Amino acid sequence: MAMRKKSKAKSKPKSKAASKKVVKLKSKKPAAKPAKSGLPPPSRKPFGQAGKALDGIKILDFTHVQSGPTCTQLLAYMGADVIKVERPGGGDITRSQLRDVKGADSLYFTMLNGNKRSITIDSKHPKGKEILERLIRHCDVLVENFAPGALDRMGLTWEYVHKTNPRMIVASVKGFGPGPYEDCKVYENVAQCAGGAASTTGFREGPPLVTGAQIGDSGTGLHLAWGIVCALYQRIRTGRGQRVLCAMQDGVLNLARVKLRDQQRLAHGPLTEYSQYGEGVPFGKAVPRAGNDSGGGQPGWILKCKGWEDDPDAYIYFITQAPVWGPICDLIGKPEWKTDPDYATPPARLPRLKAIFSTIEQWTMTQTKFEVMEKCNAVDIPVGPILSMKEIAEEQSLRATGTVVEVDHPTRGKYLTVGNPVKMSDSITEVTRSPLLGEHTEEILGKVLGYSSKDIVAIKESGAITPPAKPEKAEAA
Ligand code: CAO
């Protein structure tokens, strides 16, 4: 597969004088004194060699499953030292969920816990509580996504944490914010349904649909990471931590906000860009499912491409953006539509979208999705090939940018993961494998929390970091 972006403008060769000027500017020394802003003088190190964005930030990671681990993995990608606390014995439940390699941590776990360290602690054991207290004093942020009340039941109330370390930020994912559902346990699809995504996804004639993108879990983890970074920034000014809460329902609604927009527009008349308008189907009281209609002002639809009979992903998303209507007409062999009053303007086209897309499809079916991509992009028509996960896994440009990364793991071997989707010029992400359960327990107890070797032996004997002994089997009679 080849998806090359055409370059819009060729760079002009620089004149000698201009390049001399650049050299002069580059060699100018940064100001020696701190600026009035209080910021240090600009680093003289080359970009990418001045550490990472969150270097020095220590995260006490009490997360499990997907939403919380997404958040802490993003923070780890940015350079934070993430110490994942897991229950001795099994650890994060996803280590053994959807297992594909016998005895090895699952991809579910490994793809969400890269760049972290793992320590096993029984948080309900008295010695475990003592270790946690040291960790709370040591870290900047505690991140958790337990069921409502679980953290309090461990004794780690906000009041206790704030008293122990007033600078600590306590960040939580919960299913719902305060209100009638606040005590509910929530998984991905519950959030997609409660946040308005499912009722607005799918086809009008069919049931609500959930999406493959994990907007409830990973989406909320992403929101939480943003909240944490903001809280860290505010702490520079206030000196104190705060609680950060992301409810999954809120996170999904934030991503589905255009549908709340449409809900309000409904009060003023039909939603003319929904194909149901062109089909003469009346609107009800709530925003309907819109199939593959575009969520914006430029109509779009998914169209078949060459090979669709055998390949379930031989489709393309085609957007009839108004400014490129002329090139679309030329490309699909309908130049007369450029001047035909039934087709020439966006309002004239709205009631005819179904027929228009079906005509465009007659053309796309003669081309592969990549040929459509190439021909349309050459004349600025926005289109999107439907890429299968196989194609994405094999796409070399995604490997080159570090968006898809191959890492090696001692028990499962090589696996692919998604690297940092945010690229920064002065904070370069290096993706490392997920830790084995408790891999760093002794390292953290000794080097981070200052326990002596003798202490560590005693801690081990106490049972606070080791799985409970299995009850001895009763002897056969
Ligand atoms: N040592 C001792 N106990 C530990 C421990 C440790 N290191 N880590 C966890 N536990 C205990 C907790 O204290 C809790 O015990 P109590 O219920 O007795 O207080 C217990 O493990 C289970 O925690 P949980 O209720 O969070 O886990 P669950 O599997 O029953 O529920 C989930 C999972 C995700 C539904 C729930 O955690 C939840 O609703 N979280 C908030 C929303 C969320 O993040 N959902 C997304 C999940 S990703 O799809």
Q: Over 80: is that where the pLDDT of 113 sits?
A: yes
The rounded Å distance from CA 92 to ligand 1 centre is: 9
Q: What is the pTM of this model?
A: 0.91
Shortest CA distance to 189 belongs to which of 147, 248, 143, 246? 248
User: Which residues does the annotation mark as catalytic?
Assistant: 217
Percent of the chain residues past pLDDT 90, beyond the cut: 86
- Phi-psi group of 109: left, alpha or beta (phi > 0 → left; psi -120 to 50 → alpha; rest → beta): alpha
The answer to whether 249 and 199 have CB atoms below 8 angstroms apart is no
Task: Tell me the average pLDDT across 197-217.
Answer: 97
DSSP 101: S
**What's phi and psi for 173, nearest 5 deg?**
-105, 130
CA distance 85 to 94: 14
Span 464-477, pLDDT tens digits: 999 987 766 554 33
Is ligand 1 within 6 A of the CB of residue 186?
A: yes
Taking every pair of Cα atoms in the chain, the longest distance, rounded to a whole number of angstroms, is: 97
- Residue among 70, 118, 185 to mutate when testing ligand 1 (max atoms within 8 A of CB): 185
Task: Tell me the average pLDDT across 325-339.
Answer: 97
Q: What secondary structure does DSSP assign to 185-240, as a single string?
A: ---HHHHHHHTTSGGGSS-TTS-----SS-TTHHHHHHHHHHHHHHHHHHHHHH--
Is ligand 1 within 6 A of the CB of residue 122?
A: yes
Closest C-alpha to ligand 1, atom 31: 147
Q: Over 60: is that where the pLDDT of 24 sits?
A: no
The rounded Å distance from CA 403 to ligand 1 centre is: 30
The predicted pLDDT at position 280 comes to: 92
Closest C-alpha to ligand 1, atom 49: 187
First to last CA, the chain: 67
The predicted pLDDT at position 468 comes to: 81
CA distance 269 to 277: 11
Least confident interval from 6-15, 64-73, 353-362, 445-454: 6-15
The rounded Å distance from CA 473 to ligand 1 centre is: 29
Percent of the chain residues past pLDDT 70, beyond the cut: 91
CA distance 30 to 20: 19
Span 224-275, pLDDT tens digits: 999 999 999 999 999 999 999 999 999 999 999 999 999 999 999 999 889 8
The rounded Å distance from CA 64 to ligand 1 centre is: 7
CA distance 382 to 377: 6
Is ligand 1 within 6 A of the CB of residue 92?
A: no
Helix (H) or strand (E) holding 457: helix 453-462
Residue 66 Cα: closest atom of ligand 1: 48
Span 302-327, pLDDT tens digits: 999 999 999 999 999 999 999 999 99
Say how many CA atoms lie within 13 Å of 269 toward its Cβ: 3
Closest C-alpha to ligand 1, atom 5: 87
Residue 62 Cα: closest atom of ligand 1: 8
Task: Tell me the average pLDDT across 104-115.
Answer: 98
Q: How many other C-beta atoms lie within 10 A of the C-beta of residue 165?
A: 21
Q: Which amino acid is at 267?
A: A
The rounded Å distance from CA 147 to ligand 1 centre is: 5
- Residue among 106, 146, 252 to mutate when testing ligand 1 (max atoms within 8 A of CB): 146
**What's phi and psi for 42, nearest 5 deg?**
-55, 135
Span 405-447, pLDDT tens digits: 999 999 999 999 999 999 999 999 999 999 999 999 999 999 9
Span 71-83, pLDDT tens digits: 999 999 999 999 9
Q: Over 50: is that where the pLDDT of 9 sits?
A: no
Residue 188 Cα: closest atom of ligand 1: 49
The predicted pLDDT at position 35 comes to: 64
CA distance 27 to 17: 16
The predicted pLDDT at position 317 comes to: 97
Which band of pLDDT confidence, cut at 50, 70 and 90, is reported for residue 4? very low
* Sign of the dihedral defined by the CA atoms of residues 42, 43, 46, 51, in that order: negative
